[in-house]
Amino acid sequence: MRFITNLLIDQKKIDDINRVIVQDQFHEQLEAIRQINLNFRQRPSITEQEFPPDVLSSQALLNQIEPVMIHDCDARNGMEYAKSILFSGYDESKAKFLALEGEAQLTTHVVTQVIKAEIVPTCKVSFYFYSKSSLLEQQSNYVKYSNDITSDSNLDYIHDRNELLVSSVFGDSVLFIDGPLIGGNISGYNLRLVGLLHQKNILPVFIVKNSESSLVIDNSPEFRGKYNSDLHWAYSVLKPGQRSALFQYTDQINHSNSKVFCYIKPFYRVTTQRIEFSVPSFQTKYNIHQ
């Protein structure tokens, strides 16, 4: 990665990404599932994406990179920095339809890019139906047999998300992604995504809002037993506008499962968040040009 930006984007390219993308055979899938004549158990519900829990290796190594534990952040520096770069953010919204025959998931993936003081959204809509009934799968090409819907739907979600990010996010930019970098069956896909984004000179930053991780407190005699989780610890010790020291986690069995992270408390009475980078992202040398 060179990470040099000039903020010059052709207007036609901006117009090309300002659109809604519908999954291939989206309407055919909906019609096929309607033909099953589902018996719904409850009204559709809007849910958060179910990321795998922070199950980290027992052979992990955690290092505190910075000697000072708490750092003050200056939002004014960030405002000036943002004027010199392209940046974007990704999030999703998911609706679940629970039926006796299985579970349908409708997901809206949204990338919002800030370009020339203009907010440009790209949206992709995907639909899947999962069932433990092999008979239903045989009767329809659009029923996905699954014994573990959470795991299988995560893989479909991550595939659709990665495809959208690689195809639509402009190069020479910073990309904020909702969700963890390392976790369960998504780790390898996330690390491959990072590599593809680096090829376009995109710096991905992963943001975790909810987590039961206790990496920091478990590795510190000073904190162990005092806090319920790392988020609890960070919320207690950080003041608004502060971040923790940077830490590096490395799985000693699979060294590719490695990340650099810190906790940040942006506002008063707002829960802390974990900010994560891949190690190659963190090691990037920045060269910013107006």
pLDDT of residue 61: 85
pLDDT of residue 270: 81
pLDDT of residue 52: 63
Question: What is d(CA 220, CA 226) in angstroms, rounded to the nearest whole number?
Answer: 11
Question: Does residue 3 lie within any of the structural domains?
Answer: no
List CB contacts of 288: < 8 A, sequence separation 6 or more.
Answer: 3, 4, 5, 81, 84, 85
The number of folded domains in the chain is: 1
Question: Does residue 229 lie within any of the structural domains?
Answer: yes
Question: Does residue 244 lie within any of the structural domains?
Answer: yes
Question: Does residue 249 lie within any of the structural domains?
Answer: yes
Q: Tell me, what CATH number does 232's domain have?
A: 3.30.2170
pLDDT of residue 289: 36
Question: Does residue 238 lie within any of the structural domains?
Answer: yes
Q: Which residues of the chain have pLDDT under 50?
A: 1, 3-4, 286-290
Question: In the 8-state DSSP scheme, what is residue 199?
Answer: H
Helices (H), the chain: 11-17, 26-35, 75-82, 134-139, 149-168, 187-199, 215-218, 230-237, 279-282
Tokens 């708490």 identify what position?
70
CA-based end-to-end distance of the chain: 18
Question: Does residue 4 lie within any of the structural domains?
Answer: no
Residue 245 · residue 68 · CB < 8 Å: yes
Helices (H) and strands (E) in the chain, counts: 9, 14
pLDDT of residue 1: 46
Domain span at residue 186?
A: 11-282
Rg (CA), the chain: 21
Residue 186 · residue 54 · CB < 8 Å: no
Tokens of 58: 């027992």
Question: Does residue 289 lie within any of the structural domains?
Answer: no
Instruction: Read off the pLDDT of residues 85-139 as tens digits, 9 standing for 90 and up.
Output: 888 999 999 999 999 999 999 999 999 998 877 889 999 999 999 999 999 999 9
Question: What is d(CA 15, CA 102) in angstroms, rounded to the nearest whole number?
Answer: 39
pLDDT of residue 203: 93
Question: Does residue 288 lie within any of the structural domains?
Answer: no
* Alpha-carbon distance values, 4 to 11, 79, 173, 255, 289 (Å): 20, 18, 9, 29, 6
Give pTM, 2 decimals.
Answer: 0.87
